[in-house]
Each structure stands twice: as structure tokens, then as C-alpha cells.
Amino acid sequence: MASIAEAKIITPQPGFQMAALSTPADIAIIGGGAGGGKTYALLMEATRHRFNPGFGAVIFRRTYAQITNEGGLWDTSKDLYPLVGAKQGDMEWKFPSNARVSFAHMQHEKNMFDWQGTQIPLVVFDELTHFTKKQFWYMLTRNRSMCGVRPYVRASCNPDPDSWVAELIDWWIGEDGFPIPERAGVLRYFTRDGETMVWGNTPDEVIAQAPHLFQGELASTSPKSLTFIPGSIYENKKLLAVNPEYLAGLMAQDEETKAQLLEGNWKVKVDGLALYEPTRLNDLFTNYPVVEAQPRRCITVDAAGFGQDKCVIKVWQGWTVVAITVISKTGSRDIVDAVEPLRQRYNVAQSDVLVDQDGVGGGAVALGGYSGFSGGAPPLPDPETGTKEFYKNLKTQCYYRSAARTNRGEVRIEVTTDSCLIDGQRTTKLKVGSQVVDVRDVIKQDLKAIKRAKADAEGKKQINTKEEQKILLGRSPDFGDTFMMREWFELQPVARKGFMRRVN
């Protein structure tokens, strides 16, 4: 939205809209969070050359319905273009000078060829992440001009970490997924060498990296410039004044959706595959699970592997985690030395200590006389019915059961300086890579990384692989694994003295 003076002068709002309409970039990708005013900025951009009789702009949405939906792109244009003298046509506005702004869709990738042979001085994509990479680059070949206006491209978007757009603007995005403030609106230059992007801070830097592309008749050609300008609903004062409920609606979303659409995070995925409901993950630390007369006391242990992995130990009383110990050492003796004081303090039987027996964990099982957990083992029968459950393996079975219990609000994790011991220090803070984070955040991150996967050829339920989880986290989900291992005790005593007690 913009402020409109009595003389019908349309001005962008300070901040995001002003930056979006001021950039000299050949290609500007604008937006991020929802409600920042990016669509209105695109519509304003298309009026810039309305006095040029040879000027034309085409504003694309992926489908026709996205153009004509109630309150969408076309409806918004009706609020703006008549104010500057434009006359409405069939999905087109014509200005007194004969300059035109058209609206079109490219629902199918082949629709891009409908524009073969055209000249479009300004190409606009509303919600660029909806378009394919091929459509975008092809339309740059149509972005040409004989009217004196240097051809350029403008595009809006919301964050989509799986899109080709995320890769294109990666330089402007930090490791945490948020735009880097000092890089907002900074121009970079590029060319494409096949499918490879060649970037530079100046045109000469690009040419120096790919001199073979700028020879002969192309010697005078200059690389194109591109920038990314992030936006936020908080900069759209007009929207907030007229419709404050829109912000409330964004704030009411689950954590992932809010991070994307409200906060503009490019590395948070909203894919519908999460096992654990996001709101229930927050509840983990405030729930009041049913207190059993004789709650089961047990300990789950995930031994450290390598790199940033930690040995994580959780003490359970019923469905409450009452103590968390984290150690960076990975030896079998170190694990036993950390477990035994906890066993004594919380009165946990030796066989009620469950250790992931892969790697050094197997040594701890043998040394301490503990139970061994093998995630790749077949799933166990339902303890109540005796029927076999249709999961890929035991680990998958435990994660699905753990998620269901968590989503019912039946689990609690106590995180205090008294309950947490991290490398010998009473603290709730943990160093992960170069950052110091709260244990609660690490637990939530781990559980968010566990996703449903497509069933296997036999129809058995699966979760994403350990490698995929590590890509999401940058480490192993040690806190998540010790969380799901608690379910193993609920699947007993059916197989407790069978293969699950063997040590590999």
C-alpha cells in the first residue's frame, strides 16, 4: 500500500518499498515476509514509464486464478492505476501515452514459448518461487526494449528454502536463514556459463572469471546486475493501520510458518512432513503429564559419534525427563562414569539403562551391563495386541510412537540449571558449532528434523535418513534419539530378553 496525495502522486512507503523502487539493478528480487507491500511495489514500478508511448510491462503470476482471485493482483491494480489515468482493458491497463501494463500467467512451463518474438522492457514476476528456473531465464531473452528504457526485471517472493530462488539469492542470506542487513540492496554482477553462475562484485570481476564469454561481438557486453531487497510487514505501516488483524494472523501460525512468513527466514521448511507438531514441541517444557503411582525410572543414552556430536544422557521418571547430562568425551568408560552417578541418584536399575549400541555405545553396554538399542532392528510387536507394527525398523517405530505421545501432550522435559549438567557445568547452555544455544532449542531443532518419508516398497512407514537429518541440523540429532528411545521400554517385555539384549 502507498500514500496517495491529492495531486495523485503515488509515493512508496519509507524503507522496503522505497528501496525496491530506487534500486538500479537489472534484476531485483524483493520481499521475504508476508505483508511487506511487495505486490504494491511491483504495481507502482510498472507505472514508472507511463509517459513513454513505446513502453510495455508484463506482470506474471503462475496461474490465471492467482491474478483474478478476490483481493489479488488484478483487484489491487484497480485501486492504483485509475489514479494515474490508466484505462482498464482485458487483463491490461493502458495509459494516455499508450504505454501498457499487461497481466499474464505461465501455468505450464511450455507457456513461456507463447512469448517468443516479443519485446518486453519490464518483466515482472509476482511470487517468483512459483515459477520454474527455466521460465525465469527464458523470459530474460524477451526482456528487451526499443523505447529507450533499459530493459529490467522485478520479482517478488516469500521464503522457500527448497526453491531455485533460494540458491540464486544465497549470498544475501545468512547461515541462520535471515537476510544479512548490510547486504540488502547491494548489487552483484553475474553471467551464466552453461548452468554455472559466475558472480562478481563488479562487471570486471565477472569478465575476468569467464573471459571466453566476452569475446568477439560480445566483447562490449556487460554482465547483468542483481540484488535482493528483503521486506517485512512491520515496514508496511499502511497495512497495519488498516488491517492490524493480518499481523495477528501471522503471529498465530505455527513456529515454522511464522518464521517464514512473519520473520522472513529462508532456511525454515514448512513441508507438512514433520512428525512432531511444532506447538507441542513448545509444550514439552510446560506439560503436566499424568503422575503414575510407580513411574518407570530409566535412562536413555546416545553416544557421541564424531565432530559436533555429543553423548547425551536423559533420566526419565515416567514421562518426565528429570535430568540431562551432556559429555563431549566419547569413550565407553566415559559413558559408564557419567551414567553410574545418575543411576545411584535416581535409583535406576542397571537393565533400565538403554544405550544406542552402535560404535562406542556397544562398549558401554558391555562394560556397564546395560541394555542395548539397535535402531536398525525390526520393529517390535505391539505389547497390548501382540501384532507386528508396520514400520521400516525399530528406530522408526519409536519415533512415530514418541511423536504421537508428544502430540497428545503427555511428555515433559525439565530444563533448569539443577537438572542439566553439560561437560561438568550446571547450565542450560550448550555450544553447538560456533554458537551457544539453550538446550530447549537444541531439543526442538532435533525433533523438527525428524520427517515422515515415503513408505517403502512393502508399504512400511519410514522417516528421513540420518544423512538427511544431519543436512538439516549440521550434526546428528543426539537429543532427538535419546528422546525417542524412551518408547523402547513401552514395547517391553516382549523382546526384552531376546535379540535386543545382544551386543554386536
Domain ranges (residues) in the chain: 3-239, 281-501
Q: How far is CA 174 from CA 27, 166, 417, 481, in A?
A: 21, 11, 31, 28
Contact 31, 37 (CB under 8 A): no
Confidence at residue 317, expressed as pLDDT on a 0 to 100 scale: 97
pLDDT over 90 for what percent of the chain? 57
How many other C-beta atoms lie within 10 A of the C-beta of residue 375?
19
Query: Does residue 300 register a pLDDT over 80?
Result: yes
Q: Is 337 helix (H, G, I), strand (E, B) or coil?
A: helix
Q: Which of 123, 133, 158 is nearest to 30 (CA)?
A: 158
Say which amino acid occupies 130.
H
**Euclidean distance between CA atoms 258 and 425, whole angstroms:** 34
**Euclidean distance between CA atoms 233 and 266, whole angstroms:** 16
**Euclidean distance between CA atoms 47 and 194, whole angstroms:** 35
Rounded mean pLDDT, 244-264: 62
Query: Does residue 110 register a pLDDT over 80?
Result: yes
What is the radius of gyration, based on Cα positions, of the chain?
29
Confidence at residue 6, expressed as pLDDT on a 0 to 100 scale: 38
| Structure confidence at residue 262 as a pLDDT band (50, 70, 90) | low
Confidence at residue 102, expressed as pLDDT on a 0 to 100 scale: 96
Rounded mean pLDDT, 88-109: 93
Q: Which of 159, 103, 102, 108 is nearest to 131 (CA)?
A: 108
Say which amino acid occupies 465.
T
Question: Which of 144 and 9 is assigned the larger pLDDT?
Answer: 144
Question: Which of 345 and 504 is assigned the larger pLDDT?
Answer: 345
**Tell me: domain 281-501, CATH 3.30.420.240, correct?**
yes
Confidence at residue 399, expressed as pLDDT on a 0 to 100 scale: 98
**212 burial type by CB count under 10 A (0-12 exposed, 13-18 middle, 19+ buried):** exposed
Q: What does the H/E/C string look like for 368-397?
A: HCCEEECCCCCCCECCCCCCECCECCHHHH
pLDDT over 70 for what percent of the chain? 87
Confidence at residue 496, expressed as pLDDT on a 0 to 100 scale: 40
Query: Does residue 252 register a pLDDT over 90?
Result: no
Question: Which of 99 and 492 is assigned the larger pLDDT?
Answer: 99
Query: Does residue 33 register a pLDDT over 80?
Result: no
Question: Which of 104 and 33 is assigned the larger pLDDT?
Answer: 104
| Structure confidence at residue 23 as a pLDDT band (50, 70, 90) | very high
Confidence at residue 395, expressed as pLDDT on a 0 to 100 scale: 97
Rounded mean pLDDT, 471-498: 81
Span between the terminal Cα atoms of the chain, in Å: 65
Question: Which of 177 and 77 is assigned the larger pLDDT?
Answer: 77
Rounded mean pLDDT, 318-328: 96
DSSP codes, 425-445: EE-SEEEETTEEEEHHHHHHH
Confidence at residue 278, expressed as pLDDT on a 0 to 100 scale: 75
Rounded mean pLDDT, 295-305: 90
Rounded mean pLDDT, 170-198: 90
Question: Which of 435 and 215 is assigned the larger pLDDT?
Answer: 215
How many other C-beta atoms lie within 10 A of the C-beta of residue 382?
15
Query: Does residue 207 register a pLDDT over 60?
Result: yes
| Structure confidence at residue 370 as a pLDDT band (50, 70, 90) | very high
| Structure confidence at residue 5 as a pLDDT band (50, 70, 90) | very low
Rounded mean pLDDT, 226-243: 72
Query: Does residue 396 register a pLDDT over 50?
Result: yes
Contact 346, 322 (CB under 8 A): yes
Architecture of domain 3-239: 3-Layer(aba) Sandwich (3.40)
DSSP codes, 153-205: EEEEE---TTSHHHHHTGGGB-TTSSB-GGGTT--EEEEEETTEEEEESSHHH
**268 burial type by CB count under 10 A (0-12 exposed, 13-18 middle, 19+ buried):** buried
Contact 384, 292 (CB under 8 A): no
Rounded mean pLDDT, 58-84: 88
Q: Which of 26, 85, 95 is nearest to 55 (CA)?
A: 95
Confidence at residue 492, expressed as pLDDT on a 0 to 100 scale: 86
Kindly report which listed range (146-150, 290-294, 404-408) carries the lowest average pLDDT score: 290-294
Kindly report which listed range (69-73, 326-330, 335-339) carries the lowest average pLDDT score: 69-73
Rounded mean pLDDT, 381-410: 93
- Grid coordinates representing 45 are 514500478
Confidence at residue 393, expressed as pLDDT on a 0 to 100 scale: 96
Question: Which of 10 and 449 is assigned the larger pLDDT?
Answer: 449
Return the C-alpha torsion angle 100, 103, 109, 111, nearest 10: -60
- Segment 267-298, tens digit of pLDDT: 776 667 889 987 788 899 999 988 888 899 99
Residue 395 CA from chain centroid, whole number: 25
Confidence at residue 66, expressed as pLDDT on a 0 to 100 scale: 87
**Euclidean distance between CA atoms 405 and 350, whole angstroms:** 26
Task: Please give the DSSP secondary-structure letter assigned to residue 72.
Answer: S
Query: What is the per-residue burial (b if ≥16 Cβ within 10 Å, else e) of 170-182?
Result: eebbeeebbbeee
**Averaged pLDDT of the chain:** 86
DSSP element (H, E) containing 312? strand 311-317
Question: Which of 170 and 33 is assigned the larger pLDDT?
Answer: 170
| Structure confidence at residue 90 as a pLDDT band (50, 70, 90) | very high
**Euclidean distance between CA atoms 441 and 448, whole angstroms:** 10
Q: What share of the chain is helix, strand, coil (3-state, %, to 5)?
A: 35, 20, 45
Confidence at residue 247, expressed as pLDDT on a 0 to 100 scale: 56
Say which amino acid occupies 488.
W
Confidence at residue 250, expressed as pLDDT on a 0 to 100 scale: 56
Rounded mean pLDDT, 180-198: 91
Q: Which of 151, 141, 131, 161 is nearest to 57 (CA)?
A: 151
Confidence at residue 248, expressed as pLDDT on a 0 to 100 scale: 64
Query: Does residue 60 register a pLDDT over 90?
Result: yes
Query: Does residue 331 register a pLDDT over 50?
Result: yes
Q: Dmax of the chain from CA atoms?
A: 87
Query: What is the per-residue burial (b if ≥16 Cβ within 10 Å, else e) of 317-340?
Result: bbbbbbbbbbbeebbbebbbebbe
Output phi, psi for 283, to 5 deg: -65, -20
**Euclidean distance between CA atoms 299 and 483, whole angstroms:** 10
